[in-house]
Amino acid sequence: MILLALNLIFAVHRPDSEKITAYECGFSAIPQTRSPFSIQFYVVAILFLVFDLELVLIYPFATTLYQVGSYGFWIVILFFSILTIGFVYEIGSGALKFTATAASKATASNNTKIIH
């Protein structure tokens, strides 16, 4: 505390324009802050977490397979059924599609902006 106080009292304070400006992580300021970006990788990451947690939740059942009985078995079957329905819905809605059409649509929209 003493060294901090001595630094505040005796240190030379000469702020220049670079020290006063907001830190931008080394990048120049972007004119449009709300630029569009693809969230496909975030969706896949979230889906990976869901199905990774499935394995964590199923591990206790696998280790105590002979002690859970038929009630535990049917609970796990219900759990897998719900996950399967969710996975079929994801495939049906196209959440896992990584095609060139999405990239070509983005490129085409950028090209039309440049042409106009």
Q: Tens-of-pLDDT digits for all 116 residues of the chain?
A: 899 999 889 988 887 776 666 665 655 555 556 666 677 778 888 888 888 888 888 888 888 888 888 888 898 899 899 988 988 888 888 877 776 555 455 455 544 444 44
Question: What pLDDT score does 110 carry?
Answer: 47
Q: Max Cα separation, the chain?
A: 77
Q: Is 3 left (phi over 0), alpha (psi -120 to 50) or beta?
A: alpha
* Rounded Cα distance, 61 and 81, in Å: 16
CB of 68 closer than 8 Å to CB of 16: no
Nearest to 37 by CA among 102, 113, 111: 102
